[in-house]
């Protein structure tokens, strides 16, 4: 029988104290600010997670404490004080007394421009629905169809409860907790996110979208997404929303992991429109995202992103082409206006034989913004006949913005074929006058030119998303030419 030491007593008291604190805390909407092991435990406990998940979070937290915030990106901002942030907020509940009249009129005007329906606007602002709307029944139908195919699509917090074996098997295998500062932070404190599993040989019959489960609870600032496509399956996944998100959380650090097993294909499309700050550069979201996918044999992952929001963006959706004949694609449009800064690109890691990757990056800078493409193409010694094609185009508007390209190439196999093309152009007064002369006003002319410039990437988006993304580009650049 071991002796009950004073140390043990102290430990127990601490835990008790903490548990007590914890229970009072869950009465409130938000945890106290700051981050320590107790907060990590509390988040896990709040979600009723199994022990392995709690341990995993704690391990990540331990790693994170030893890490430093990266500063190699071409962005400038005041580093957040990580002890001044509250790491858990309960999802905002529907307020039965709130109507659309209570919503910021600017926001409503923007919805109108984007052609977003009134019901969707209500959902996005947590306004109660007066009637049972179509979208609710649509969601139910969706769920039924998905269930029939054996597809699992749910918040990751539910998946941890209902499919722990799947989550445990895959979480952190592509983006390990030790990967980088923000990934470690996310692993420790992630609030929620999506989990998706497509069984062997199943072609998902519809675009999966986080958007249609928007009223199942907000996902918050530390979002975690895990998507597994089993052998021979196919899925197209849409993330985000073209509507502006005026999130008050300044720091966003999401992690997305994709796993495409043999012969599987994942198409992952994102529209990011977080609050970019005002035209003086005040406010706005810091978006530090780690997205990575793994391709097994003959698998394919396509990342398509339209980035128009956030004050600072740090994001490199990547592909590990592990299996022979696997394919990675990255199509990106990044728009920066006013004082926005974006450092975004991709990593294509060729490990398997005959692996292929394509990178098309379109950067559009206006105002006083800075827009950087940063990409790595790595061909390992065993990757025979790897091929990459990269094209990075920058479009500048005005004289006060900047466009930068940082392509890194590491080829360790002589059979590799790597092509890189880059262009920089400016919207010329001659182009604008030409459009004007045909009766097209300047704002519309810019939209036309920008859409033309972005076409190769817009074409990769699912149809309904592409139309909205096109409008979003126009709105993001409104007023950028005097």
Partner 1 sequence: MLKINNLHASVEDKSILKGINLEVKAGEVHAIMGPNGSGKSTLASVIAGKEEYEVTDGNILLYGEDIEELAAEERAHKGVFLSFQYPVEIPGVSVTNFIKTAINANRKAKGLEDMPAKDMLKMIREKSELLEIDRKFLSRSLNQGFSGGEKKRNEIFQMAMLEPKLAILDETDSGLDIDALRIVANGVNKLKSKDNAVILITHYQRLLDYIKPDFVHVLYNGRIVKSGTAALAHELEEKGYDWIKEEVNA
Structure tokens at 342: 């974006």
Q: Which is nearer to partner 1, 349 or 395 (CB)?
A: 395
According to DSSP, the β-strands at 318-321 and 286-295 are parallel
Q: Which is nearer to partner 1, 178 or 451 (CB)?
A: 451
Element (H, E) at 209: strand 208-209
Choosing from 106, 134, 279, 441, the residue that interacts with partner 1 (CB under 8 A) is 441
Q: What is the largest CA-CA distance in the chain?
A: 93
Closest CA to 160 of 251, 46, 262, 269: 46
Structure tokens at 297: 């044999």
Query: Which of 195-203, 286-294, 364-372, 437-445 is the region at the interface with partner 1 (rule: CB under 8 A)?
Result: 437-445
Q: Measure the CA–CA gap between 175 and 164, rounded to whole angstroms.
A: 18
- CA dihedral in degrees (17, 19, 23, 24; nearest 10)? 20
Q: Measure the CA–CA gap between 261 and 301, rounded to whole angstroms.
A: 10
Q: How many residues does the chain have?
A: 482
Binding of partner 1 by 440 (CB under 8 A): yes
Q: Which is nearer to partner 1, 198 or 392 (CB)?
A: 392
Give the HSE-up count for residue 287: Cα atoms under 13 Å, Cβ half-sphere: 26
Whole-angstrom CA distances from 475 to 70, 450, 453 are 32, 11, 16
In whole angstroms, how close is the CB of 431 to partner 1 at the nearest point? 5
Closest CA to 427 of 360, 368, 480, 370: 480
Query: Which of 41-49, 52-60, 146-154, 429-437 is the region at the interface with partner 1 (rule: CB under 8 A)?
Result: 429-437
The residues in 17-76 that bind partner 1, with binding defined as CB under 8 A, are: none
CB 92 within 8 A of CB 126: yes
Q: Which is nearer to partner 1, 144 or 438 (CB)?
A: 438
Gyration radius of the chain over CA positions: 23
User: What secondary structure letter does DSSP report for 159?
Assistant: H
Residue 122: phi and psi, rounded to 5, are: -65, -45
In whole angstroms, how close is the CB of 459 to partner 1 at the nearest point? 10
Q: Which is nearer to partner 1, 259 or 449 (CB)?
A: 449
Choosing from 444, 464, 478, 479, the residue that interacts with partner 1 (CB under 8 A) is 444
Q: Which is nearer to partner 1, 149 or 426 (CB)?
A: 426
CB 373 within 8 A of CB 363: yes
- CA dihedral in degrees (75, 79, 80, 81; nearest 10)? 170
The residues in 448-467 that bind partner 1, with binding defined as CB under 8 A, are: 448-449, 451-456
Choosing from 434, 464, 478, 479, the residue that interacts with partner 1 (CB under 8 A) is 434
Cα 424–Cα 428–Cα 429 angle in degrees, nearest 5: 165
In whole angstroms, how close is the CB of 438 to partner 1 at the nearest point? 4
Query: Which of 150-158, 243-251, 434-442, 474-482 is the region at the interface with partner 1 (rule: CB under 8 A)?
Result: 434-442
Q: Which is nearer to partner 1, 105 or 482 (CB)?
A: 482
Binding of partner 1 by 437 (CB under 8 A): yes
Binding of partner 1 by 249 (CB under 8 A): no
Query: Which of 135-143, 158-166, 422-430, 472-480 is the region at the interface with partner 1 (rule: CB under 8 A)?
Result: 422-430
In whole angstroms, how close is the CB of 54 to partner 1 at the nearest point? 51
Q: Measure the CA–CA gap between 422 and 413, rounded to whole angstroms.
A: 24
Number of residues that bind partner 1 (CB under 8 A): 23
In whole angstroms, how close is the CB of 135 to partner 1 at the nearest point? 28
Each residue 372-411 as x (binds partner 1 by CB under 8 A) or -, in order, gives ----------------------------------------
In whole angstroms, how close is the CB of 442 to partner 1 at the nearest point? 8
Choosing from 70, 115, 150, 428, the residue that interacts with partner 1 (CB under 8 A) is 428
Choosing from 178, 325, 391, 431, the residue that interacts with partner 1 (CB under 8 A) is 431
Interface contacts to partner 1, rule CB under 8 A? 428-431, 433-442, 444, 448-449, 451-456
């Amino acid at each position: 029988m071991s002796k009950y030491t004073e140390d043990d007593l102290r430990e127990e008291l601490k835990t008790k104290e903490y548990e007590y604190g914890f229970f009072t805390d869950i009465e409130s909407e938000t945890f106290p600010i700051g981050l320590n092991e107790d907060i990590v435990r509390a988040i896990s406990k709040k979600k009723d997670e199994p022990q392995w998940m709690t341990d995993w979070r704690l391990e990540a937290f331990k790693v994170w404490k030893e890490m430093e915030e990266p500063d190699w990106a071409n962005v400038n901002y005041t580093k957040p004080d990580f002890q001044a942030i509250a790491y858990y907020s309960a999802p905002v509940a529907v307020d039965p007394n709130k109507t659309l009249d209570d919503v910021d009129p600017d926001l409503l005007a923007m919805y109108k421009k984007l052609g977003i329906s009134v019901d969707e606007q209500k959902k996005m602002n947590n306004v109660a629905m007066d009637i049972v709307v179509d979208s609710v029944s649509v969601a139910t139908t969706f769920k039924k169809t998905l269930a029939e195919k054996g597809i699992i699509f749910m918040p990751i917090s539910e998946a941890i409860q209902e499919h722990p074996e799947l989550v445990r098997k895959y979480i952190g295998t592509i983006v390990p907790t030790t990967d980088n500062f923000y990934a470690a932070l996310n692993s420790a404190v992630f609030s929620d996110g999506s989990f998706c599993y497509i069984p062997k040989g199943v072609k998902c019959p519809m675009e999966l979208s986080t958007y249609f489960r928007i009223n199942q609870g907000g996902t918050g600032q530390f979002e975690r997404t895990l998507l597994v496509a089993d052998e021979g399956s196919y899925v197209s996944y849409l993330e985000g929303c073209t509507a502006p998100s005026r999130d008050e959380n300044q720091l966003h650090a999401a992690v997305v992991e994709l796993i495409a097993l043999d012969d599987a294909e994942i198409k992952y499309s994102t529209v990011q429109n977080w609050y970019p700050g005002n035209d003086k550069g005040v406010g706005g979201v810091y978006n530090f995202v780690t997205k990575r996918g793994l391709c097994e044999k003959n698998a394919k992952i396509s990342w398509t992103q339209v980035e128009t929001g956030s004050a600072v963006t740090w994001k490199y959706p990547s592909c590990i082409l592990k299996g022979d004949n696997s394919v990675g694609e990255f199509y990106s449009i990044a728009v920066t206006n006013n004082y926005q800064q974006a450092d975004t690109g991709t990593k294509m890691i060729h490990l398997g034989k005959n692996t292929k990757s394509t990178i098309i990056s379109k950067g559009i800078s206006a105002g006083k913004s800075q827009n950087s493409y940063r990409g790595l193409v790595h061909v390992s010694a065993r990757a025979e006949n790897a091929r990459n094609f990269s094209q990075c185009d920058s479009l500048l508007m005005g004289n006060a913005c900047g466009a930068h390209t940082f392509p890194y190439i590491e080829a360790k196999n002589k059979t590799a074929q790597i092509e890189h093309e880059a262009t920089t152009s400016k919207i010329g007064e001659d182009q604008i006058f030409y459009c004007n002369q045909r009766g097209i006003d300047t704002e519309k002319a810019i939209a036309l030119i920008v859409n033309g410039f972005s076409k190769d990437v817009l074409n990769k988006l699912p149809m309904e998303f592409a139309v909205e993304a096109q409008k979003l580009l126009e709105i993001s650049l409104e007023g950028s030419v005097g």
